[in-house]
Structure 1
């Protein structure tokens, strides 16, 4: 009798769990791959799967998405209308080589993200964290009007305190200081860390949420993964470095930290500033912080500034491109796909997480089979075990299909770069994975400049000297247990 009762109870649990899993997954619009991945987790891991879903699978609420889109639409519509004719008339790119590729990619990014093509930008490229943060702190120390900072990680460690001290001194001088950080990415950092800064007149807040967000809305997706700094409206930073000791090589687990970041002066900083303002104001809708007034006078000033740079033939043409779960155009992913599909000579990619969506995966393979020199560089060690095993799976799949995949051996590779042809490149926060494509808020700089592309290509080739080419024999000699983990993690790829 007891066994019969137990059997019936188990069947009730299994049937109820299956019905609830189907309802949970299908009540929101998702990719087919994501849907099946969640069905597998929820069906085969009763209770545990639902707890995992609570933290990882829940989508942004419709009111949050509406607020984000409202901020974007209010600011960018006029910019887009103004520039559509300029790009189509080729007036912004007529002096560049490879004009057709430039036009196709720049128009794609304008249409998908309203990303304005800016002119006359001067760019410094950093691959070492100490050099980047020394320069950043120096720029903050020289700020006279405002410092806006937006990072996925703002750690309360030695480097974090160095940056915070510079911000506090700036606030003491009367500089407008605003800090936007991701609560999940900045584990151990909370509002208390910024209390003294706020007493001096600065402001800091966690993106789209209050300090109690992890309790009131437990969600591990939809992070602010952007890394932006704008100083006095004239200096901008964009790339892969976060604020934390590991990013300057002070974490024994990772050793040397290899990343890529840009310091920009020129009209692109206006678009970085607008991106920050929209993110700040979106978050202010749920906090008591002061909104930034983006009024008609401010917009007119930015129009005039962009127009001033349009006639300059010197400098780097650049588009600041954003993507996130608030917009299903997935602009950065489509930008990546545009670069790959239009490549004729080579595509060099650096990414810590290689879990590409099918469209990117096929573009890479098609390019390689057409004779394009496609090379991808990944880290030699994991910072997330499941993600790294999935990365290994896709590295093997791409290797089997003619793509050259390298493992960087000199520390941890965190750069998110793509360079192709004579002049097209991308540097930013977006990895080549599902999370960056659809789940996180990202920002990249897409550039059209022979010198900068050549510099990034040379850096990649220098990194090759400290890397190992992964071959079919390399993967064939891996243990069966490791291969099993890779296959299993590949099944979870859409939700990693």
Structure 2
């Protein structure tokens, strides 16, 4: 018995020693360091396997390869806009206020994101409507279709979109597809075989040479963008799959938010796509081509910036945008996110706003698609209720929208959730919109969604079982690595 206890003690000490070496050999923030240490110590062996697949940071070589992809077609515009902003010439007095100028400056400096004027936007909240429009736009393409989705399922909707892409490729239109290797793991590359025979190209992002082993599992391209002829663009939360049409019983109706854009903001999406393409492929990289960036006359009245962030940068550009919006709010903050796991900076900013009397509203789903993630979400939802915010639980299916609206004036729609993963681990892209009309539209959509929610109250929180509270507390400890 003494020998067994001695062996157990020795193995435990060795495991702790190896866990400390493993975690501290790579520079990361303190919260993630302690979360991984907890996993490695409590799950000997299994924890190390998990770390190998989802804990290792991107290699310096791969980060260099991604970051050396210049903002294709944007560099000259960025320099010009910085000069104009410094001289107060970027926005007319009618268009500008201090908040807009500060937001524009933030993204020009942190992400080299150009401010585009006069865009026309259409908001989609229903998958069927969104994909009917997308497929119609693809069918009208004359020069190119560039499409990037985290999830591209091999199902009925996936085949509909693929058929439209194949038809355009057969007509001589350039068709490029990027799909995330993890998000589309149920889709085999042979699904795109006929598209490639017809002249199109499809590439997995951060794929693996082996079917089972992928040591870059934790770093995913979560973006969802489409560019058609450099004139029409799509950005938002919908992926390609039948569940996004509400056809999967587990989720029910799928409530998301997506934008269709006409105007020069599409050029920023084009630049983002080409950079991601160059990061995904070994050969056949793309340089600037004039036909990819056709300048257009104003289609509408919306000013906006397309902002990207990812693990290739320490700046967390989209998170900084969220923080800036929250800090500028004077009257209201409306947030929708399926995963609400804010880091300390975002949690403090929202808490301060709520305690300052600002109308803070947060909407989350009523069901999980990832158990630990959802329990962490409900933990932080409870923290927000205690801080004085209104938290709404969406009951009409699954809420997947990633939106923020402040004071009914400035809005954000995109792919980034309010969680650690979107801030640090995923490649994300958001549209930051400076148009009170669009912001009011999004605010009204939010208020209509409230009709299909129930309010999370302190009384409901008190009624939770001890087991539920334990699951939420434990999931919170893992939140930096979820």
Tell me, in whole angstroms, the C-alpha distance in 1 between the residues paired with 2:300 and 2:235: 21
The answer to whether 1:355 aligns with 2:355 is no
Q: What displacement does 1:283 show? A: 1.1
TM-score by length of 2: 0.97
SS at match of 1:492: helix
How does 1:46-57 map onto structure 2 within 5 Å? Answer: 46-57=44-55
Cross-structure match for 2:90: 92
Tell me, in whole angstroms, the C-alpha distance in 2 between the residues paired with 1:28 and 1:16: 19
**Is residue 257–residue 401 contact of structure 2 (8 Å, CA) maintained in 1?**
yes
The answer to whether 1:471 aligns with 2:457 is yes
Cross-structure match for 1:5: 3
Cross-structure match for 2:225: 228
* 2:285 paired residue among 288, 291, 301: 291
Seen in structure 2, the aligned counterparts of structure 1 residues 214 and 87 have a Cα distance that, compared at 3 Å, is farther
Tell me, in whole angstroms, the C-alpha distance in 2 between the residues paired with 1:159 and 1:87: 44
Q: Deviations over 1:279-304 (max 9, x none)?
A: 0011113xx4x222226x57xx85x8
Long gaps (5+) in structure 1: none
Cross-structure match for 2:113: 115
Tell me, in whole angstroms, the C-alpha distance in 2 between the residues paired with 1:109 and 1:70: 19
Q: Deviations over 1:80-137 (max 9, x none)?
A: 2221112233333224466001011111111111111011110000000000000000
* 2:391 paired residue among 384, 405, 423: 405
How does 1:322-361 map onto structure 2 within 5 Å? Answer: 322-361=308-347
Cross-structure match for 1:244: 241
**Is residue 71–residue 275 contact of structure 2 (8 Å, CA) maintained in 1?**
no
Q: What displacement does 1:436 show? A: 0.3
**Is residue 95–residue 313 contact of structure 1 (8 Å, CA) maintained in 2?**
no
SS at match of 2:68: helix
**Is residue 322–residue 332 contact of structure 1 (8 Å, CA) maintained in 2?**
yes
TM-score by length of 1: 0.94
How does 1:90-489 map onto structure 2 within 5 Å? Answer: 90-96=88-94, 99-210=97-208, 212=209, 215-285=212-282, 288=283, 290-294=284-288, 302=293, 305=295, 314-489=300-475
Tell me, in whole angstroms, the C-alpha distance in 1 between the residues paired with 2:287 and 2:67: 17
Q: Deviations over 1:211-256 (max 9, x none)?
A: x355453343110000000001100000000000000100011110
SS at match of 2:413: strand
Tell me, in whole angstroms, the C-alpha distance in 1 between the residues paired with 2:231 and 2:433: 18
Tell me, in whole angstroms, the C-alpha distance in 2 between the residues paired with 1:114 and 1:379: 34
Tell me, in whole angstroms, the C-alpha distance in 2 between the residues paired with 1:349 and 1:88: 32
**Is residue 81–residue 90 contact of structure 2 (8 Å, CA) maintained in 1?**
no
**Is residue 183–residue 190 contact of structure 1 (8 Å, CA) maintained in 2?**
no
SS at match of 2:257: strand
Tell me, in whole angstroms, the C-alpha distance in 2 between the residues paired with 1:34 and 1:364: 21
Q: What displacement does 1:77 show? A: 4.2
Tell me, in whole angstroms, the C-alpha distance in 2 between the residues paired with 1:422 and 1:464: 16
Tell me, in whole angstroms, the C-alpha distance in 2 between the residues paired with 1:130 and 1:331: 31
Long gaps (5+) in structure 2: none
Seen in structure 2, the aligned counterparts of structure 1 residues 74 and 320 have a Cα distance that, compared at 3 Å, is closer
Deviates more, 1:217-226 or 1:75-84: 75-84
Q: What displacement does 1:190 show? A: 2.0
SS at match of 1:71: coil
**Is residue 154–residue 186 contact of structure 1 (8 Å, CA) maintained in 2?**
yes
Cross-structure match for 2:24: 26
SS at match of 2:260: strand
Seen in structure 2, the aligned counterparts of structure 1 residues 425 and 229 have a Cα distance that, compared at 3 Å, is same
Cross-structure match for 1:41: 39
Tell me, in whole angstroms, the C-alpha distance in 2 between the residues paired with 1:266 and 1:194: 30
Tell me, in whole angstroms, the C-alpha distance in 1 between the residues paired with 2:72 and 2:258: 29
**Is residue 93–residue 102 contact of structure 1 (8 Å, CA) maintained in 2?**
no
SS at match of 2:277: helix
Tell me, in whole angstroms, the C-alpha distance in 2 between the residues paired with 1:80 and 1:353: 33
Tell me, in whole angstroms, the C-alpha distance in 2 between the residues paired with 1:235 and 1:74: 18
Cross-structure match for 1:65: 63
Tell me, in whole angstroms, the C-alpha distance in 1 between the residues paired with 2:449 and 2:85: 35
**Is residue 79–residue 114 contact of structure 1 (8 Å, CA) maintained in 2?**
no
SS at match of 2:69: helix
SS at match of 2:67: helix
Number of equivalent positions = 482
Q: Deviations over 1:31-64 (max 9, x none)?
A: 1000011111111111111111122211111111
